[in-house]
Amino acid sequence: MKLGLLTAALGQMSLEQIAAWAPQAGYQALEVAAWPVGSEHIHQAAHLDVAGFTAADAARVRELLDGHGLTVSAVTYCGNNLHGDPAERDRVHRHLRACIDAAALLGVRYVTTFIGRDVTLPIADNLRQAEQRLPALTGYAADRGVKLLAENCPMEGWHPDGYPANLAYSPELWDWMAGLGFGLAYDPSHLPWLGIDPLDALEHALRSGIVGHVQAKDIQIDERARTRYGVFGKTAGRASPTDVGWWRYRVPGRGQLDWNRIIDALYAAGYDGDVAVEHEDPVWGGTLERTLQGMRIAAHTLRPLIPITTTPGAGP
């Protein structure tokens, strides 16, 4: 197991700059963001331009990362694979297939994505559509030696009323999506506000053998504010989809998750993937320097729990 970071929050830096910085901060692996070039959201970086990605591009990336003692834990593009607009859904699927092709050229085992949801339809209709459309994507990946993983982020910001819009948010859905060929990219920060015990859920997923990758993000909950707003968050006074009013994401070490128990559960189960810090902390964000400091705080928290590993000749 290696400690890594998801590059998405570092869109102001190039992959070359991240590769030079990460080992100095205590990281050994990168979960590389691969949104389409030109994505404008702060957490949708394009550190791999997968459109037209070639064997020569893969060789260049491997040489860069090898030179800094880094590996790639996953290629990540979290689009809405069940989008209600057929043209947009097709665009998402085409880009996801390009991410799979790039991962195959790099020798990377995993591509992380979302299941998504057509928010104009009931969940039951979405489940049926997923069962019809998504096995083609997981099969495309499997044919190239890659496993598609769905992250358990609810993506409530995609829904007009703040309800879950990524059908991978609960252990029940993890079992369902495994039947479609997906593994799980487990992020414990999304579970407490849904009333799900993150450790119990993790142990269930580990027993099921579906965990391929782990993201490390923490959460801070204000229980008194939850009493005011309810589990779905602010209604009349919400300023943005993420302005829920009673919880917020934090870097590991600044929230309330028990990382000692989470990491121990991974080791106890023989998990052989990586743990990548995902930075969405509003306190340690806003500027590049504060974001990097948040990454340092996360490494300081997790590094004692995940010893440095040395793999001679390791590449991406």
Both structure tokens of 87: 């043209």
What is the H or E stretch that residue 101 is in?
Answer: helix 86-106
Task: Name the one residue in this structure whose structure tokens are 């948040």.
Answer: 294
> What pLDDT score does 314 carry?
46
Give 227-236 contacts, CB < 8 A, sequence gap 24+. Answer: 231/193, 231/194, 231/195, 232/161, 232/162, 232/163, 233/162
Both structure tokens of 93: 């699927």
Give residue 93's identity as a one-letter amino acid code. H
What is the H or E stretch that residue 287 is in?
Answer: none
> What pLDDT score does 41 carry?
66
> What pLDDT score does 273 carry?
94
> How far is the C-alpha of 221 from the C-alpha of 227, rounded, in Å?
11
Which residues of the chain are under the pLDDT cut of 70? 40-42, 310-316
Provide DSSP, 229-283: H-TT--STT-SSTT--SSEEEE-TTSSS--HHHHHHHHHHTT--S-EEE----ST
Both structure tokens of 6: 């998801």
Is 81 in contact with 92 (CB distance < 8 Å)?
A: yes
Which of these, 120, 129, 126, lies nearest to 161 by C-alpha position? 120
> What pLDDT score does 202 carry?
98
Task: Name the one residue in this structure whose structure tokens are 């909950």.
Answer: 221
Task: Name the one residue in this structure whose structure tokens are 């080992």.
Answer: 23
> How far is the C-alpha of 294 from the C-alpha of 286, rounded, in Å?
11
> Facing residues of 291 across strands?
none
Which of these, 235, 290, 276, 311, lies nearest to 22 by C-alpha position? 276
pLDDT tens digits for range 210-222: 999 999 999 999 9
> What pLDDT score does 43 carry?
73
> What pLDDT score does 38 carry?
80
pLDDT tens digits for range 69-123: 999 999 999 999 999 999 999 999 999 999 999 999 999 999 999 999 999 999 9
pTM, rounded to two decimals: 0.94
Query: What distances in angstroms separate CA 162 from CA 154, 155, 157, 241, one per listed residue?
Result: 9, 8, 6, 7
Kindly calculate the radius of gyration of the chain based on its CA atoms and give it in whole angstroms: 18
> What pLDDT score does 89 carry?
97
Provide DSSP, 18-47: HHHHGGGGT--EEEEEBPPTT--STT--BS
Query: What distances in angstroms separate CA 28 from CA 147, 170, 275, one per listed residue?
Result: 21, 30, 10
Is 217 in contact with 276 (CB distance < 8 Å)?
A: no
Q: In sequence order, what are the residues at sequence separation of 6 or more whose Cβ sits closer than 8 angstroms to the Cβ of residue 105?
A: 53, 54, 55, 57, 58
Domains of the chain with bracketed CATH = 3-218+254-305 (3.20.20.150)
> What pLDDT score does 242 carry?
76
> What pLDDT score does 316 carry?
52
